[in-house]
């Protein structure tokens, strides 16, 4: 039976199985100028349903690529928005780690199209540079499995205004 694309509550969220992908990209992290566009599409407080992808469950475990870079405790921020799991800390990828996780997931797949849009999601030069630096930490591991070249080809197609 195929693995569902989302968890619909936050009960499996942990430091190892942190929220990543588009739910993390769209989370309005304090002090960040990226993300926050479609938060309610992933965290519908009215229905009590969250639609989140978890690292190591719905996404590959990217610890070997990035360590714990960009994994943050969002317990208090989620609680402010009405989301909590009693007695548990909740973790999420920041925007950079979430995008990097998405890129690694795509690089490891057989898909031709990567749906990360660097120029749109990271509007400033500094934000784009930070994403590229984080992504570069995966170069060695992706090279070992023959997937870094796929990322390089894709990066050449990105427009950086």
CA 39 – CA 35 distance, rounded (Å): 8
Work out the average pLDDT over 72-94: 86
Higher pLDDT, 5 or 95: 95
∠ at Cα 3 (41, 99), nearest 5°?
A: 50
Instruction: Please check the confidence at residue 43 and state whether its pLDDT lies above 80.
Output: no
User: What is the pLDDT at residue 87?
Assistant: 83
The whole-number average pLDDT for the span 105-130 is 92
Please determine, for residue 95, whether its predicted confidence score (pLDDT) is greater than 70: yes
Question: What distance lies between CA 73 and its chain's CA centroid?
Answer: 14
Per-residue confidence (pLDDT) for residue 32, from 0 to 100: 60
Q: Estimate the share of the chain in helix, then strand, then coil, as percent rounded to the nearest 5.
A: 40, 10, 50
The chain-wide mean pLDDT, for the chain, equals 84
pTM of the model: 0.86
């Amino acid at each position: 039976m195929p693995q569902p694309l989302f968890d619909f509550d936050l009960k499996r969220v942990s430091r190892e199985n942190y929220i990543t992908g588009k739910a993390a990209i769209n989370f309005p992290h304090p002090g960040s100028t990226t993300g926050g566009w479609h938060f309610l599409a992933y965290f519908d407080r009215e229905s009590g349903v969250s639609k989140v992808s978890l690292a190591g469950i719905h996404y590959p475990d990217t610890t070997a690529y990035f360590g714990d870079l960009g994994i943050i405790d969002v317990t208090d921020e989620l609680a402010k928005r009405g989301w909590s799991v009693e007695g548990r800390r909740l973790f999420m990828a920041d925007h950079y780690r979430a995008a990097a996780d998405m890129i690694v997931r795509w690089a490891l797949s057989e898909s031709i199209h990567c749906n990360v849009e660097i120029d749109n999601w990271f509007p400033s030069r500094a934000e784009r540079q930070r994403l590229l630096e984080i992504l570069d930490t995966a170069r060695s591991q992706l090279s070992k499995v023959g997937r870094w070249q796929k990322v390089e080809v894709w990066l050449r197609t990105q427009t950086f205004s």
